[in-house]
Amino acid sequence: MTVHLTHPESPAHPAAESMLPAIGGFPPSDRALFLAGYSELCRIDLSGKRALEICGGFGKLAAGLAEVFPDARVTGLDLYAAGGPEIEERLKRLPGLSYVAGDAFDLSAFPNASFDLVLGQAALHHLAHDVDGLAAQILRVLKPGGRLVFIFEPMGHNLLVAAIRAVRMARHELGDESNLYLSQFERMAKGFSTCEVQMFNFLGYPMKAVSDRFNFLSTAVQRIDSWLFRSFPKLLRYGANCNVIFTK
């Protein structure tokens, strides 16, 4: 399976903007990445269909998807089921939303071909020690033609980016930010029909410390990155972050 590298520049899906609160205090330099990722979640009308978020934490993204598609059934899965007053309010307001406790490596609680979409946000790099086992679980529960979307994942082909992350982890500025590699996506893609990797942040990542403080500079860096990716496609491999879209 060939992994197709892209840098999306088309307008975001109209509903993607409404889902941005799902990422909390995101830096301006990553806005385009999240809009592209959320656009992929909305690419297919999920009305009357089922979606599963894995490693969903507090469940904001699952809730955002349920708000966009109120007739869908959206399940948020994490090792510990989301709970508390805010969760109870969401569940009352969004009847198609549910939260369960579970392990992404053991989806045996769900029948074969039961989901049209499986998604994760900043999740895959926490699961990358067994991409084969993860892919097998998700392929079983996905319907034919179903999609698997991972949003905001760290890539490791850019050695400068990898070094910056290593320093930030050593200084306890970052938690587990294990870098991902295209070879891992290729292994996962063997059971899928297509795999698209949307690459972002070539200059954007090394310049985050400055550009996130000045919105105009962040916008300029994003535009330069888009020009570089478009003009020199080989640079796509060296983007610092990505979204990954598999289709069964």
Query: 216-232 pLDDT, tens per residue?
Result: 888 899 999 999 999 99
Categorize the per-residue pLDDT at 74 as very low, low, confident or very high, splitting at 50, 70 and 90: very high
> Is the CB of residue 109 less than 8 Å from the CB of residue 140?
no
Q: How far apart are CA 49 and CA 34, in angstroms?
A: 23
Mean of pLDDT over the chain: 92
Handedness of CA 193, 16, 116, 60 (dihedral sign): positive
Angle between helices 60-68 and 31-41 in degrees, nearest 10: 50
pTM for the model stands at 0.94
Confidence of residue 212 (pLDDT cuts 50, 70, 90): confident
For residue 241, the domain's CATH number is: 3.40.50.150
When divided into structural domains, the chain yields a total of 1
The pLDDT, as a whole number, for residue 173 is: 60
Measured in whole angstroms, the distance separating CA 17 from the mean position of its chain's CA atoms is 15
**DSSP 8-state assignment for residue 110:** S
* Whether the Cβ atoms of residue 53 and residue 104 lie closer than 8 Å to each other: no
Cβ atoms 188, 134 nearer than 8 A: yes
User: 205 near 161, Cβ under 8 Å?
Assistant: yes
Residues spanned by the domain of 152: 4-247
